Amino acid sequence: MRTQIKYNLKENTFRITSEVKEEHIKDIIGNVLRAQIGTGSDERKSAEKTEYIIIIDLELEDDTFKVSSDTGNKSLTTGILMQLLQEYGKEKNDLIIYE
């Protein structure tokens, strides 16, 4: 099951397209972030863009996931996902758009 997140840096908005039910996306992002703990930093130069795309592929058969992005490094990808998770914690949020 695929979830695509488009983060617009200038507008500070997230556009989410997913095969996963909306109420489960926050849990998936949390699991992705937990898996990053202890993996070390990524020294590659991050891409300088206005919009970034992060794709999370979830394999339900064995509860594994694969994360790919056009950010240029894992640290920026993790930072964007952390910011998205923080936005989920806000009561009224116009920054997360579901498509």
Q: Mean pLDDT throughout 48-57?
A: 96
Q: Return phi, psi of residue 41, to 5°.
A: -90, 160
How many Cβ atoms from other residues are within 10 Å of residue 56's Cβ?
A: 22
Q: Return phi, psi of residue 83, to 5°.
A: -65, -40
Predicted confidence (pLDDT) per residue in 62-88, tens digit: 888 899 999 999 899 999 999 999 988
pTM: 0.88
Residue 98, burial from CB neighbour count under 10 angstroms (0-12, 13-18, 19+): exposed
Q: Residue 81: name the closest of 21, 37, 45 by CA.
A: 37
Looking at the structure of the chain, the number of domains it has is 1
The confidence band for 94, taking pLDDT boundaries of 50, 70 and 90, is confident
Q: Tell me what pLDDT residue 90 has.
A: 80
Domain housing 52: 2-98
